[in-house]
Amino acid sequence: MHELAVCQALISQVRDIALERGATGVSGIRVALGPLSGVEPALLQSAYTLARAGTLASDAALTIVVPPLRVRCRQCGAESQARPNRLLCPACGSHDTRVLSGDEMILESLSLTFSGAVSHV
């Protein structure tokens, strides 16, 4: 299952960041999932609930945002939004476009918890 592998990589990335900062847990993860990333948000969400079990992120909610797909036209240079199944330039109608963003999954932010932060002497 592709999404499970994606989640395991994500959680391992999250764990590295959390450990680096000295956090004791993770309460939230926010990722931007490009429409051309090849990952379905719903499948990612359900794979995540399996993948997070027993990890530092076991209580962390996953928020998935899908950013707009942007292309740049090689013919007229226009940058515009496009749909994943229709990568053409709205300015001149050319299909000769390059994807600027929309094919990646990016870890946008994390909510970390620190046990030391709530201790009182």
Which position among 5, 53, 66, 76 is part of the footprint of Zn ion (CB under 5 A)? 76
Residues 99 and 79: beta-carbon distance below 8 Å: no
Please tell me whether residue 94 binds Zn ion under the rule CB under 5 A.
yes
The candidate with the shortest Cα–Cα distance to 98, out of 79, 121, 83, is 79
Alpha carbons 75 and 72: distance in angstroms, whole number = 9
Please tell me whether residue 81 binds Zn ion under the rule CB under 5 A.
no
Residues 86 and 95: beta-carbon distance below 8 Å: no
Nearer to Zn ion, 14 or 89 (CB): 89
Nearer to Zn ion, 21 or 95 (CB): 95
Please tell me whether residue 73 binds Zn ion under the rule CB under 5 A.
yes
Nearer to Zn ion, 78 or 87 (CB): 78
